[in-house]
Amino acid sequence: TTHLLLTATVTPSEQNFSRELRETAMAKDILGEAGLHFDELNKLRVLDPEVTQQTIELKEECKDFVDKIGQFQKIVGGLIELVDQLAKAAENEKMKAIGARNLLKSIAKQREAQQQQLQALIAEKKMQLERYRVEYEALCKVEAEQNEFIDQFIFQK
């Protein structure tokens, strides 16, 4: 078998490019140790690109959180307003019920007083009836006596 031996020849421009890449990597390492970094646009940054990305993500998450808190506050505010309205309605109904109860108590007291007045009037009328009955009996007795006197007077003539 024959082996084919390929030899790669590197041109001087390729050697320069390779050296520049090594130097750039070394420079990035040195700057990285000093706390300086290059971003994807090769701009010099104080923060590591990964930390910068995490910071941006955290900022977006915070904005979303603040938006959600705002929505929550609106919902809670609406709920509180609704509960206040229901409390006012319940208080109004409670006052109506108290008023109705007091009115019923007042009507009951009026009826009780009226009943007492009517019972007193009935007692008075019963007494008057008894007086009239006694008077009627007395008058009947007088009439009977007078009729008897008249009959005796007529018979004597």
Predicted confidence at residue 9, as pLDDT, reads: 58
- 36 Cβ contact partners less than 8 Å away, ≥ 6 residues apart: 44, 45, 46
Residue tagged 């609704």 (tokens): 82
Given this model, what pLDDT does residue 58 score? Answer: 96
How far is C-alpha 113 from the geometric centre of its chain's CA atoms?
A: 45
Task: Write the single-letter amino acid at 104.
Answer: L
Q: Give dist(CA 137, CA 130) in Å, integer.
A: 11
Tell me, what's the pLDDT at 51?
A: 79
Question: Is 63 strand, coil or helix?
Answer: helix
What pLDDT is attached to residue 135? 98
What is the β-pairing status of strands 37-38 and 44-45? Answer: antiparallel
| Positions of the chain with pLDDT lower than 50, given as ranges | 1, 5-7
pTM of model > 0.75: no
